[in-house]
Amino acid sequence: DVKVTQSSRYLVKRTGEKVFLECVQDMDHENMFWYRQDPGLGLRLIYFSYDVKMKEKGDIPEGYSVSREKKERFSLILESASTNQTSMYLCASRSSAAYRVGELFFGEGSRLTVL
């Protein structure tokens, strides 16, 4: 069974802390994504990665960075957490095959609360 695993389901951090959210996929997918999900706003793309060591900004990259050192792992970093980053964070992966480009596989999400 294919799987995208996010390291933490729930985190509570303080303002100013550095936060790492980890995501691992076992499907050998080239593309990986980080979204945040907020009520009434749906899913918004933070960053994505086409391949190892490659990254592209999404719609809301401010305050975030990412790292992709290995194909299966994509990390989201909040350098200095702020309360407006309290949210549900969703990682997803996707094959680069043309006929599957819209088919994302999601992890269960990481709910981050910043106090």
Partner 1 sequence: GDSVTQMEGPVTLSEEAFLTINCTYTATGYPSLFWYVQYPGEGLQLLLKATKADDKGSNKGFEATYRKETTSFHLEKGSVQVSDSAVYFCALYLTGTASKLTFGTGTRLQVTL
* Contact residues: partner 1, CB under 8 A: 4, 31, 33, 40-43, 45, 48, 50, 56, 58, 90, 92, 101-109
> With respect to partner 1, which residue has the nearer C-beta, 17 or 58?
58
Do 79 and 106 meet the contact criterion of CB atoms below 8 Å apart? no
- Minimum distance, C-beta of residue 90 to partner 1, in the bound complex (Å): 6
- Minimum distance, C-beta of residue 42 to partner 1, in the bound complex (Å): 4
In angstroms, the CA 43 to CA 53 distance is 24
> With respect to partner 1, which residue has the nearer C-beta, 56 or 79?
56
* Token representation of residue 1: 């069974």
Q: Which amino acid is at 34?
A: W
> With respect to partner 1, which residue has the nearer C-beta, 47 or 81?
47
Q: Residue 98 is inside which H or E element, if any? A: none
- Minimum distance, C-beta of residue 11 to partner 1, in the bound complex (Å): 16
- Minimum distance, C-beta of residue 17 to partner 1, in the bound complex (Å): 25
54 φ, ψ (degrees, to nearest 5): -110, 140
* SS3 category, 111: strand
> With respect to partner 1, which residue has the nearer C-beta, 12 or 41?
41
In angstroms, the CA 73 to CA 6 distance is 10
